[in-house]
Amino acid sequence: MPEPIPRNARVLYALPHAVMVVVAVIDVVAGPSVGFLPLVALGPAFAGLVGGWRRTALIGVLALLLCAGLGLYDGLFADRRGLTALASVAGVTVASLWAAVLRQRRENELARIRSIAEVVQRVLLRPAPHSAGGLDVAVSYTSALAEARVGGDLYEVVDSPAGVRVIVGDVQGKGLEAVGTAALLLGAFREAAHLEPDLGSVCERLERAADRELRGEKFVTAVVAEVGPDHRVTMVNYGHPSPLMVDSGGSVTSLDPPTHAPPLGLGLPGPERPAAHSTSLAPGDQLLLYSDGVTEARGADRRFYPLAERCASLLHPDPKVTLTMLRADLMRYTGSPLHDDAVMLLLRRPGP
């Protein structure tokens, strides 16, 4: 079923015809002495804004016929004013045709770029499984760039023999460079999550990959977590916003790390290994990992989005429903497109 034409586009489609009708009425009422006839050229001029070149050419022909008819009615061809008006309409029609052709080429190129972006998204940020290791899983991803499908945030869920391993991260910067860094870290995590026996070894692989590949001031904040078969959650936090634990009663706890490790790629001096911390995931509990694009989004009053408060009030047994409501609430709160990429990943242990 074809998509409905937006209201603004419908107005632009009707504008050329409306303009020519108005000019014709004014010309007939005011008479030949006022000189409104060349304004018929506004019809093909506006036609070049939307639609294809064929539509623009058709409106140009209509404008020429209208101009010729009004010129004969006003008797303007005797002193060549009618020919001047016809030449004006013809010139504007040719220019609008050329503009319409160029615009269509750009739109086709943009469509190809978007299709490539969708392929990149499927490869880089694969759809999260609906469940893993007996846990319900849901992900919400919003790119700060309206034309883009992917950005600098990253996530992954791997159901490994040791348990469910997840990562949520935020690459410093935006654009293609940030996408490349995200691809690097995700590739390292996907391999390590399947092969390494414990979470510490997975994190070591990520640190080596980041230190080897990231240069200058590039870095990645991330939370790497593992939910074992006993539903014990172990986390390592690399300078990332702390995950939230929401129990079945709606109480929210921020899972702050005992010590803050530097982001991946900075290679700053510090403890030999980042300190891991753990908690238990009881039946009905939900674990929310997110990026700072969520908590640093500002409302009309310039206050940050209160994620902990909102996720408690919007809690639902289905994680996908919870994230759908949270994302809608976030967009209402900001009232405008986000200025940073935003990802939310929710794990829920099914309860009674």
Number of domains in the chain: 2
For the segment 6-27, the average pLDDT, to the nearest whole number, is: 80
Is pLDDT at 230 greater than 90 in this prediction? yes
Same domain? For 178 and 229 the reply is yes
Residue 104: give the domain boundaries: 7-119
The average pLDDT across 290-314 equals: 89
- Of 66, 89, 119, which marks where a domain is finished? 119
**Domain end marker among 119, 149, 175:** 119
Average of per-residue pLDDT across 247-251:
85
Res. 201 pLDDT band, cuts 50 70 90: very high
Share above pLDDT 70 across residues of the chain, in percent, rounded to a whole number: 87
**HSE, side-chain direction, 13 A CA sphere, residue 233:** 25
Residue 186, pLDDT > 60, answer yes
Residue of 165, 259, 164, 152 whose CA lies nearest to 205: 165
Q: What does the pLDDT average to over 194-199?
A: 92
Among residues 150, 158, 184, the alpha carbon closest in space to that of 341 is found at 150
How sure is the predictor about 174, in pLDDT bands with cuts at 50, 70 and 90? low
Q: Evaluate if residue 159 carries a pLDDT over 80.
A: yes
Q: Which residues contact 52 (CB under 8 A, 6 or more apart)?
A: 100, 104
Both 153 and 215 in one domain: the answer is yes
Give the span between the Cα atoms of 11 and 49, in whole angstroms: 11
What is the C-alpha to C-alpha distance for residues 222 and 297, in angstroms, rounded to an integer?
19
Query: Which CATH number is 256's domain given?
Result: 3.60.40.10
> How far apart (Å, rounded) are the C-alpha atoms in residues 321 and 325?
6
Mean pLDDT of 252-274: 78
Residue 103 pLDDT greater than 60, yes or no:
yes
Residue 188 within a domain: yes
Question: pLDDT at position 3, please?
Answer: 44
Same domain, 136 and 277: yes
Backbone phi, then psi, for 133, in 5-degree steps? Answer: 55, 35
* pLDDT of 169: 92
| Cα angle for residues 332, 345, 130 (degrees, 5° grid) | 110
Percent of the chain with pLDDT over 90: 34
Residue 37 lies in a domain: yes
**pLDDT at residue 4 tops 70:** no
Which range has highest mean pLDDT (121-130, 261-270, 325-334, 337-346)?
A: 325-334
* Same domain for 130 and 114: no
pLDDT confidence tier of residue 108, bands split at 50, 70 and 90: confident
- 129 shares a domain with 94: no
The verdict on 157 and 304 lying in the same domain is yes
In a domain, 2, yes or no: no
Residue 328 and residue 200 share a domain = yes
| Domain stop point among 72, 87, 119 | 119
- Which long-range contacts link 178-183 to residues 24+ away (Cβ below 8 Å)? 178/151, 178/152, 179/120, 179/124, 179/150, 179/151, 179/152, 181/152, 181/213, 181/214, 181/218, 181/220, 182/124, 182/150, 182/152, 182/153, 182/154, 182/220, 183/124
Shared-domain flag, residues 193 and 314: yes
In terms of domains, do 228 and 342 share one? Answer: yes
- At 2 the pLDDT is 43
Flag whether pLDDT at 318 surpasses 80. yes
Same domain, 138 and 250: yes
Give the pLDDT confidence score for residue 269 in this predicted structure.
53
For residues 279 and 179, membership in a common domain is answered with yes
On the question of pLDDT at 165 being above 90, the answer is: yes
Q: What is the mean pLDDT of residues 83-99?
A: 87
Residue 270 is predicted with a pLDDT of: 53
The Cα–Cα gap between 272 and 58 comes to 73
Is 1 a member of any domain? no
Which pLDDT score is estimated for 117? 63
pLDDT at 244 over 90: yes
Answer yes or no: do 164 and 115 share one domain: no
Report yes or no on 278 lying in a domain: yes
The tens digit of pLDDT for each residue in 131-151 reads: 998 999 999 988 766 555 556
Q: Is 224 a member of any domain?
A: yes
For the ranges 67-76, 249-258, 283-292, 327-336, the lowest mean pLDDT is seen at: 67-76
Q: Are 236 and 207 in contact (CB under 8 A)?
A: no
Task: Indicate whether 241 pLDDT > 90.
Answer: yes
Domain annotation covers residue 205: yes
State mean pLDDT over 157-173: 91
Lowest mean pLDDT among 108-117, 163-172, 211-220, 250-259: 108-117
